[in-house]
Structure 1
């Protein structure tokens, strides 16, 4: 009997020990090292709450998600936007520097210029800057050499091709308006490229400027007064944001218009030829990932788009009374009916 009681007590003790092990609370949270949370700064033109650019920043955030970065878990994002007021950029960039973010993602232009002026140490990733070498942000595309890297949009190099396509679509256009934004850091380079292309195509270039949206209507009125046969708009954040207004003004002025991003043709412009901008924003996330893992921007080559889309809006062509030559149509990646 005494032996049986001893066995029962040993069994009960073992069961109690097992229960305590199974149902014991986990170790205190503070006993484990906290997961590192990276702070990412965004310096852009317009916030993602505006429909005109929402898809761009969503592409960037999606790119981060695909790489395992989730806001509120392992990253915190500080967002600053100039909202059409470029004079605010220096202070907005300085705020991100004071917050000591791990990396600054500078969207479009001119935010990368402001970010570079604000810091020479915090890594800067461009989403779609026009000409980082020509404007002095980096030493070369292959080896940037400083704290700036990312993606170049090739807006300067594309101007000649855009003018050529526009001329082929509207063969009778001997005078083409070129609308430029002097506030764009790459404006002078874009104009120089346009002038070179115009000479080779035998086209007379009519140069007009618009720094603000309220100057767009006056620019189109001047095009009509001076009998422009078409209009070319180089890559620019102001023109991108107000693409619907520009497309409407071009149609009202009976002007075939060419712009870089496909969003312009989708908004009612006649033609667009350029890179896929949302894809560039998504690709910017890969640069952020590499930098957060220890890579130096000076050693990360700047990417350039390798594929360009030609979009033609035949609905707009019909409204203009324009027949786009078949030789141009067959080259289009997408035709809007």
Structure 2
């Protein structure tokens, strides 16, 4: 049985579309993210997967979502707003979002979509195989992927010795120092600059230019992927090669992207949600780890900023944008 249900009667205008009449009961699914793109992509890939599982928006499912647009100060009030809508399950995009939600309602079923930091080390789960408690979901370990992106950027630009790191405003406190230390072990000086909403991107790139970095690793953060086109334009205007997270970011103008296959992970989040909506406790559902990754190189950007991408990097890419 769902932890919370409600009858179709009453206005749902404040949180989503009115379900079709005569359907009896609906499940209520919330989503809270630091970036609008997570909402858009769950609508694109997650909601159709839920429909295949029998939860159809407007008939048997009500979906409502909120984005802080990169501003960490907005997460707590938005979490309160989402919880006030009495969801049966909430998708939390990132560990900080999951912590904010759980602090306000410890019993609320939460599906991570995605966990960027190890949820066990972060205190959100007892183990990946059996999380226990109220949190399960999809793990992509963005910290490790940021390090992988640094390694790939060094292959693409072997002469770069001072590299910028664009960090998300909601990163856990240990994430930037760990990245700086890992870079030092590689013989690279990493200059970290934090950014949140779109208005902070310009000053962040100005700071990176002032630090005379040779290239930039863009950290895994929904606010950055939401504003990928603006971010890429700032990088190109500064003639700074960037390596970003998602394929869509390379398509928007980043030099290179490397990350999981987004569509697969969104669908897996939906499958976790469906299991909880059918009555399975989240603590009994194993967390899913990303398994497939893709690299995209944008040669148009390379030509624009005057960078020659080595053949080794091109050969490793799943797609090259000419």
Given the two structures, how large is their TM-score scaled by the length of structure 1? 0.82
Whether the aligned pair in 1 keeps the contact of 2:72 and 2:196 (CA below 8 Å) is: no
Match among 287, 296, 302 for residue 272 of structure 2: 287
Distance in 1 of aligned mates of 2:66 and 2:191: 36
Which one is further off, 64-73 or 267-276? 64-73
Structure 2 match to 1:149: 136
Distance in 2 of aligned mates of 1:101 and 1:272: 35
2:29 is the counterpart of 1:43: no
Whether the aligned pair in 2 keeps the contact of 1:57 and 1:281 (CA below 8 Å) is: no
Distance in 2 of aligned mates of 1:304 and 1:149: 11
* Cα distance change of structure 1 residues 259 and 149 upon mapping to structure 2, 3 Å threshold: same
Which one is further off, 210-219 or 278-287? 210-219
Counting only pairs closer than 5 Å after superposition, residues 29-68 of structure 1 correspond to structure 2 as: 35-47=24-36, 54-68=40-54
Structure 2 match to 1:91: 77
Structure 2 match to 1:129: 115
The alpha-carbon deviation at position 164 of structure 1 amounts to 0.7
Whether the aligned pair in 1 keeps the contact of 2:34 and 2:222 (CA below 8 Å) is: yes
Q: CA RMSD in A?
A: 2.2
Whether the aligned pair in 1 keeps the contact of 2:33 and 2:39 (CA below 8 Å) is: no
2:163 is the counterpart of 1:176: yes
Greater share of strand residues, 1 or 2?
Answer: 2
The alpha-carbon deviation at position 336 of structure 1 amounts to 0.7
The alpha-carbon deviation at position 85 of structure 1 amounts to 4.0
The alpha-carbon deviation at position 120 of structure 1 amounts to 1.5
Distance in 2 of aligned mates of 1:129 and 1:117: 17
The alpha-carbon deviation at position 313 of structure 1 amounts to 0.6
Structure 2 match to 1:335: 320
The alpha-carbon deviation at position 46 of structure 1 amounts to 4.5
* Cα distance change of structure 1 residues 192 and 142 upon mapping to structure 2, 3 Å threshold: farther
Deviations 1:213-246 (A, max 9, x none): 2222222222223321111111012211121111
Secondary structure, aligned partner of 1:144: coil
Whether the aligned pair in 1 keeps the contact of 2:35 and 2:222 (CA below 8 Å) is: no
Deviations 1:98-135 (A, max 9, x none): 44322112234643222111212121111112112233
Secondary structure, aligned partner of 2:180: helix
Distance in 2 of aligned mates of 1:239 and 1:262: 13
Structure 2 match to 1:139: 126
* Cα distance change of structure 1 residues 96 and 331 upon mapping to structure 2, 3 Å threshold: same
2:256 is the counterpart of 1:267: no
Distance in 2 of aligned mates of 1:295 and 1:58: 25
Structure 2 match to 1:28: none
Which ranges in structure 2 are unaligned for 5 or more consecutive residues?
1-21
Structure 2 match to 1:11: none
Distance in 1 of aligned mates of 2:98 and 2:55: 23
Distance in 2 of aligned mates of 1:193 and 1:154: 13
Distance in 2 of aligned mates of 1:34 and 1:247: 46
Deviations 1:280-317 (A, max 9, x none): 12211111111122211111111110111111111111
Secondary structure, aligned partner of 2:316: coil
Given the two structures, how large is their TM-score scaled by the length of structure 2? 0.86
Structure 1 match to 2:283: 298
Structure 1 match to 2:63: 77
Structure 1 match to 2:14: none
Match among 153, 158, 162 for residue 166 of structure 1: 153
Structure 2 match to 1:253: 238
